[in-house]
Amino acid sequence: MTSKTKNTLAVEEYDFEGWTDEAENAALAVLAGENSIQYVISENRFFVGRFKDGRIIKTPLVLSVNLLEAVTGFEDQSDVEQIKHLMELLGKDEDLEYLNQADIFSAIDYAQKYFSMFEKITRLTMGESLS
């Protein structure tokens, strides 16, 4: 005699009625923390970002006028698209490929932090304060 077993799908239970703004904020904070990159500015003037999987991407903070003009030609695009264009112009194909495969939130975080540091350096160079 053969015994037949019924295939059952594991059903995850969700508490829709108990979902609150606090639960949403907590879930979003976890997601944001999981996708945030860490970064430093190296002595040789690179923005060095480390992704959650340990991948490190280095992007120069000092750019030539020609390179900067090429990148600012994409200013109507998102920060992620701009950083991808910059990597392409720099010939950083492996880093570009990584960013194309990375989760969108980590890629956005890297791009926004890079351009934020670039903006701060520009302001300081012009004699402005950061406060």
End-to-end distance of the chain based on CA atoms, in angstroms? Answer: 80
H helices of 1-131, in order, are 21-35, 65-72, 79-90, 93-101, 104-125
Domain boundaries, the chain: 28-125
pLDDT digits (tens, 9 = 90+) for 64-86: 999 888 888 888 899 999 999 99
Sign of CA dihedral 115, 25, 55, 39: positive
Query: Is 82 in contact with 74 (CB distance < 8 Å)?
Result: yes
Q: pTM here?
A: 0.80
125 residue type, one letter: T
pLDDT band at 130 (very low <50, low <70, confident <90, very high): confident
- Residue 77's alpha-carbon distances to 71, 80, 84, 85, in angstroms, are 10, 8, 11, 10
